[in-house]
Amino acid sequence: MKFELLKTTGHARRGRLTLNHGCVETPIFMPVGTYGTVKGVTPQSLEDMGAQIILGNTFHLWMRPGLEVIGLFKGLHGFEKWSKPILTDSGGFQVWSLGAMRKISEEGVKFSSPVNGDKLFLTPEISIQIQTTLNSDIVMQFDECTPYEINGVLTSEKDARSSMELSLRWAKRCREEFSRLENPNALFGIVQGGMFENLREESLSALVEMDLPGYAVGGVSVGEPKDEMLRIMAHTPHRLPPNKPRYLMGVGTPEDLVAGVQSGVDMFDCVMPTRNARNGHYFTRFGDLKIRNARYKADLLPIDPTCSCYTCAGTTHAGGFSRAYLHHLDRCGEMLGPMLASIHNLHYFLNLTKEMREALDADNFCAFTTQFHANRSRGI
């Protein structure tokens, strides 16, 4: 893996990541393909909309179809027919999300398979073994996600510290397994520490000492209030080594992406574009639009007349789809509704990061952010 820092404006960065399956221009948004498919879109459509790297979820793919099947394809790329880079998470967040169904120890996490009830054990070593079979370009360390609160009680600094320290010990075990397996890809470490800036700094220092090829900020977007998320986003990323890529996990809204880049983040992922699409929630340059609203019943305009996605602009033959048509598809429960909404929303998120890259290239990132906020609050 190679990372070139092409330009810096304040904390904001323009970079280029070279991975085993290709190049990624940063800042970048990464569509989420949990089960080996970005929900509701074909790989061809992802390419058409300019996706450069997508995610896969280690935990889900381990459950279904399982490693034996993915091994036959020599990794996730061949299985899902995506030839550009892939990043996989470690499965840590998913087993943590199982709540009462899992038990965390120093060794790893014991849990029952939500698919068939089998007793399973996920450890840093096993996570790296799975990700090695997946052959993802970017491998994430196995970590424990520090909760924001448990049953309404905020996580104490003491608990956040032991959680963060456990993640650090797991990071070291991940690195050992990663090099024992001679995994040819790039292992990223994950900064934890909950909402405590001093813990974030300790986590960061220890990880930087490990000299990993890239770093993520984890444990955000886990149920904390928005201002807490923004506080950590403003605190941590720019403290990471400037010559390494920085990934903010699970974030977020278009506004979060812009704030993230301003805070020095290079990479984002979030299920929001596709999940919201399935509920008829469209993101646009001029604010969001709920297509279910009766006001769109006879609206001849496309979702966003300035958007160049297939949903809004169509092909050269026929122009884009109207809000009235998309409203109708939603009302009839037609599959084409979520399909077109997913195309639009993913295109919007990808295009937003593209516009940020262009603004950074042209040295007008500050003007871009002003215009971005004015546009978004204008209303569609």
- The residue within the footprint of a copy of itself, chosen from 6, 8, 22, 72 (CB under 8 A), is 72
Give the binding range for a copy of itself (CB under 8 A) out of 17-25, 29-37, 165-173, 232-240: 29-37
DSSP helix/strand/coil, 6:
strand
Give the binding range for a copy of itself (CB under 8 A) out of 71-79, 127-135, 141-149, 255-263: 71-79
Question: Is 219 near a copy of itself (CB under 8 A)?
Answer: no
- The residue within the footprint of a copy of itself, chosen from 20, 322, 369, 375 (CB under 8 A), is 322
Question: Is 69 near a copy of itself (CB under 8 A)?
Answer: yes
Two tokens, residue 273: 């574009």
- The residue within the footprint of a copy of itself, chosen from 314, 358, 361, 370 (CB under 8 A), is 314
Per-residue mark of binding to a copy of itself, 337-366 (x: CB under 8 A) = -xxx--------------------------
- Cβ closest to a copy of itself, residue 73 vs residue 286: 73
Do 242 and 214 meet the contact criterion of CB atoms below 8 Å apart?
Answer: no
Residue-level length of the chain = 380
Measured in degrees and rounded to the nearest 5, phi and psi for residue 208 equal -60, -35
Per-residue mark of binding to a copy of itself, 32-61 (x: CB under 8 A) = ---xxx-xxxxxx--x--------------
Sheet with strand 246-248: strands edge to edge: 28-30, 267-269, 246-248, 214-217, 186-191, 138-140, 86-88, 54-56
Write 247-250 long-range contacts (CB < 8 A, 24+): 247/87, 247/188, 247/214, 247/215, 247/216, 247/217, 248/216, 248/217, 248/220, 249/89, 249/93, 249/190, 249/216, 249/217, 249/218, 249/220, 249/221, 250/93, 250/220, 250/221, 250/222
Identified catalytic residue from 266, 269, 304, 330: 269
Identified catalytic residue from 89, 266, 304, 330: 89
Question: Is 301 near a copy of itself (CB under 8 A)?
Answer: no
Two tokens, residue 226: 């928005």
Angle at the Cα of 275 (from 273 to 329), degrees rounded to 5?
A: 95
- Cβ closest to a copy of itself, residue 117 vs residue 223: 117
- The residue within the footprint of a copy of itself, chosen from 320, 350, 353, 359 (CB under 8 A), is 320
DSSP 223: S
- Reply yes or no on whether 89 is catalytic: yes
- The residue within the footprint of a copy of itself, chosen from 283, 310, 365, 372 (CB under 8 A), is 310
- Reply yes or no on whether 269 is catalytic: yes
- Cβ closest to a copy of itself, residue 160 vs residue 329: 329
Cβ of 115: how many Cβ atoms within 10 Å? Answer: 11
Active site residues: 89, 269
